[in-house]
């Protein structure tokens, strides 16, 4: 399964997109590209969970071409077992525009997560931000849920489910 999505947003257009992959797919490459005209806005929310030896790659490319356009690309993911995830996000600010890309991931067991946010400002009036955070579940979160009667596995599952919600 390797879907490709191409988005062309005309002047003043708005689009929100949500993608979800919760286990079940062994290997996927999801490509999304977009170009935005004046005043257009694009919001993308992605949720991914990989388990076993699954591999998930996401590749976003957004060209901000029109004055006052904006893009917000957000990924939340959890990687378990020996799975591998790669998040690639490129936002090109070609005018007075706003772009934001963010990747937050929980890594467990022997999994691997690679986050590659890239921003290119081709205009002094482009305002571009990227954030990436990868980490394990905090011990105090597990302890708190375990004191409420959950097993460690149940506590981990609740934390991951809440993170991806």
Q: What is the pTM of this model?
A: 0.90
CB 78 within 8 A of CB 51: no
- Residue 1: what pLDDT? 66
Return all residues near 142 (Cβ < 8 A) that are at least 6 apart: 152, 155, 156, 159
- Residue 34: what pLDDT? 97
How does pLDDT run along the chain (165 residues), one tens digit per residue? 688 999 999 999 999 999 999 888 899 999 999 999 999 999 999 999 999 999 999 999 999 999 999 999 999 999 999 999 999 999 999 999 999 999 999 999 999 999 999 999 999 999 999 999 999 998 888 888 889 999 888 988 899 989 888
Ordered strands of the 14-22 beta sheet: 14-22, 41-50, 70-79, 97-107, 126-135
- Residue 61: what pLDDT? 98
What is the DSSP track for 143-162? HHHHHTT--HHHHHHHHHHH
């Amino acid at each position: 399964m390797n879907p490709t999505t191409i988005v062309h947003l005309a002047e003043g257009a708005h689009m929100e997109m949500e993608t979800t992959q919760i286990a079940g797919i062994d290997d996927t490459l999801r490509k999304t590209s977009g170009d935005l005209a004046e005043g257009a806005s694009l919001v993308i929310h992605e949720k991914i969970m990989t388990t076993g030896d699954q591999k998930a790659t996401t590749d976003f490319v957004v060209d901000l071409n029109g004055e006052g356009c904006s893009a917000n690309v957000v990924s939340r993911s959890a990687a378990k077992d020996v799975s591998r995830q790669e998040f690639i996000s490129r936002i090109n600010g070609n005018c007075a525009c706003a772009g934001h890309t963010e990747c937050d991931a929980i890594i467990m067991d022997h999994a691997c997560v690679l986050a590659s946010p890239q921003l290119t400002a081709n205009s002094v009036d482009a305002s571009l931000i990227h954030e990436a955070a990868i980490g394990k579940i905090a011990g105090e979160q597990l302890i708190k849920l375990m004191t409420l009667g959950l097993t460690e596995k149940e506590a981990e599952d609740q934390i991951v489910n809440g993170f991806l919600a």
